[in-house]
C-alpha cells in the first residue's frame, strides 16, 4: 500500500471512526447501571408529563372542599401519631387530598409539567446564551475577552438566588396580573399565557420562571465554553483550516463546536436538578407558579404548613422531587464518564 493509498483509506475511515466514538459513548453509558436507571426514570417522567391528563385520576384544580385533608386507610396505618383520630379516612384518593379536597396524586403528576420544563428550559437557555457568549469571548480573545468576562465576573458576584428573586419579583409586578392592552407588559403577559397553555396549565406564569432562571444560569456555561475554546483554538487543525482560508464562523461551527459540545452538554445535564430546585425554592417562598397550578415547590410549601398533622402532604411531593434529582444526577454522571475525553479509555 502506498502512502497515498494509506492516507485515502484513513480519510475513508474517518466518518466511521466518528460514529464509533458516539457508539462508544453509548456503550459506556449503558454499561453504567446507575446512569441507565437515571435515563429510564427521566424517560418515565417525560412520559408522565406528556400524558398527565390521561393518567391523572382528576384535574389538578378539581376538588370539593368537603373532602379536605382526607387520608387513605393504608396511609393512616403507616403514618406516625394517631392520624385516624382526627383525619377523615377516605380511600377515594390514593395519596390523600389537600385542604381543598384536591387529589394529591394528580397534583404531583401535573407538577411534572412544571418541574421538567423548568429543568430543560433552564439548561437549554443556558446552553444557547452561554455557548454563544463563551465562544465569542474565547475565540476572539484579547480585549473582547477581557470585557466580556469581566461582565460575567460582575454578574457572578451577585448571589444567584438573590438575582432570581429580584427578577421574579420584577416580572411578577410588571408583567403579572392583568395589564392594560397595548403595553409591552401586556405583550409579555400574552406570551406567558401562550406558554402556559402549551403546557396545558391554567394560569401558571411559567414564562417568568423560564426567564428568571435562564437569565441567571448562562454565566457558568459561558465560562466553561470559553475555557474549552481556549484549549481547542490553538490546536493544529484549527490553524490548518485558518490557513486554507476558512471563515471564523466556519471554524467555530465546524471545528470547534463538535470538540466542546460534549463537556457542555454534560455540565448542563448535571445542572438540571439545580434549576428544578430553583423553581421549588421560588414556589416555596411564593414567587413561583401561581395557584392553583401545582408545582412540587408549591406542594411542599403547602404541605409543610401541615407537617405535624398530615405529613404525607409533604412527603410525597418531596419524594417525587428527590427521585427526579437523583435520576438527573445519575444520568449526568454517566454522560460525563461516557463523553469526557479525559475519561475516555478508562473504565
**Residue choice 307, 319, 323, 343 for contact with another protein (CB under 8 A):** 307
Q: How far is the CB of 203 from another protein (least distance, A)?
A: 5
Q: Does 292 bind another protein (CB under 8 A)?
A: yes
Q: How far is the CB of 99 from another protein (least distance, A)?
A: 6
Q: Site size for another protein, by CB under 8 A?
A: 35
Taking the least distance from each CB to another protein, the nearer of 122 and 212 is 212
Give CA 202 to chain center in angstroms: 21
Q: Does 270 bind another protein (CB under 8 A)?
A: no
* Residues 144-203 within binding reach of another protein (CB under 8 A): 172-173, 176-178, 202-203
**Residue choice 21, 50, 94, 100 for contact with another protein (CB under 8 A):** 100
**Residue choice 22, 74, 86, 237 for contact with another protein (CB under 8 A):** 86
Element housing 283 (H / E): helix 257-284
Strand partners, 71: 89
Q: Does 101 bind another protein (CB under 8 A)?
A: yes
Q: Report the C-alpha gap between 152 and 286 in whole angstroms.
A: 29
Q: Does 82 bind another protein (CB under 8 A)?
A: yes
Q: Mind giving me the DSSP string for 128-146?
A: HHHHHHHHHHHHH-HHHHH
Q: What is the DSSP letter of 292?
A: T
Q: How far is the CB of 302 from another protein (least distance, A)?
A: 7
- The number of residues making up the chain comes to 347
Q: Does 290 bind another protein (CB under 8 A)?
A: yes
Q: Does 334 bind another protein (CB under 8 A)?
A: no
Taking the least distance from each CB to another protein, the nearer of 216 and 298 is 298
Backbone angles phi, psi at 98, to 5 degrees: -95, -165
Q: How far is the CB of 327 from another protein (least distance, A)?
A: 30
* Residues 27-66 within binding reach of another protein (CB under 8 A): 61, 63, 65-66
Q: Does 288 bind another protein (CB under 8 A)?
A: no
- The interaxial angle of helices 257-284 and 104-140, nearest 10 deg, is 140
Residues in the site for another protein, rule: CB under 8 A?
61, 63, 65-66, 68-69, 81-82, 85-87, 99-101, 172-173, 176-178, 202-203, 285-286, 290-292, 301-302, 304-310
Amino acid at each position: 500500500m502506498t502512502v497515498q493509498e494509506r492516507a485515502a483509506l484513513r480519510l475513508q475511515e474517518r466518518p466511521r471512526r466518528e460514529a464509533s466514538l458516539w457508539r462508544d459513548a453509548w456503550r459506556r453509558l449503558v454499561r453504567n447501571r446507575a446512569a441507565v436507571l437515571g435515563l429510564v426514570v427521566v424517560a418515565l417522567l417525560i412520559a408522565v408529563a406528556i400524558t398527565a391528563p390521561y393518567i391523572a385520576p382528576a384535574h389538578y384544580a378539581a376538588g370539593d372542599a368537603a373532602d379536605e385533608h382526607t387520608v387513605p386507610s393504608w396511609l393512616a396505618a403507616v403514618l406516625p401519631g394517631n392520624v385516624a383520630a382526627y383525619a377523615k379516612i377516605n380511600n377515594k384518593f390514593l395519596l390523600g387530598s389537600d385542604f381543598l379536597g384536591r387529589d394529591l396524586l394528580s397534583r404531583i403528576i401535573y407538577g411534572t409539567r412544571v418541574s421538567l420544563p423548568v429543568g430543560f428550559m433552564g439548561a437549554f437557555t443556558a446552553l444557547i446564551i452561554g455557548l454563544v457568549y463563551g465562544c465569542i469571548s474565547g475565540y476572539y480573545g484579547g480585549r473582547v475577552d477581557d470585557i466580556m468576562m469581566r461582565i460575567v465576573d460582575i454578574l457572578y458576584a451577585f448571589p444567584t438566588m438573590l438575582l432570581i428573586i429580584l427578577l421574579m419579583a420584577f416580572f411578577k409586578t410588571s408583567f403579572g396580573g392583568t395589564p392594560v392592552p397595548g403595553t409591552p407588559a401586556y405583550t409579555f403577559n400574552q406570551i406567558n399565557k401562550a406558554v402556559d397553555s402549551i403546557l396545558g396549565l391554567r394560569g401558571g406564569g411559567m414564562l417568568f420562571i423560564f426567564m428568571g432562571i435562564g437569565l441567571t444560569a448562562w454565566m457558568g456555561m459561558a465560562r466553561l465554553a470559553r475555557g474549552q475554546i481556549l484549549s481547542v483554538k490553538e490546536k493544529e487543525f484549527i490553524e490548518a483550516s485558518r490557513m486554507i482560508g476558512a471563515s471564523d464562523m466556519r471554524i467555530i461551527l465546524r471545528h470547534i463546536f463538535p470538540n466542546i459540545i460534549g463537556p457542555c452538554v454534560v455540565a448542563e445535564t448535571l445542572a438540571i436538578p439545580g434549576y428544578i430546585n430553583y423553581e421549588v425554592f421560588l414556589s416555596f417562598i411564593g414567587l413561583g407558579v401561581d395557584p392553583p397550578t401545582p408545582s412540587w415547590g408549591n406542594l411542599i410549601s403547602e404541605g409543610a404548613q401541615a407537617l405535624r398533622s398530615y405529613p404525607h402532604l409533604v412527603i410525597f411531593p418531596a419524594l417525587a422531587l428527590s427521585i427526579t434529582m437523583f435520576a438527573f444526577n445519575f444520568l449526568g454522571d454517566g454522560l460525563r464518564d461516557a463523553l469526557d475525553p479525559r475519561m475516555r479509555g478508562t473504565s
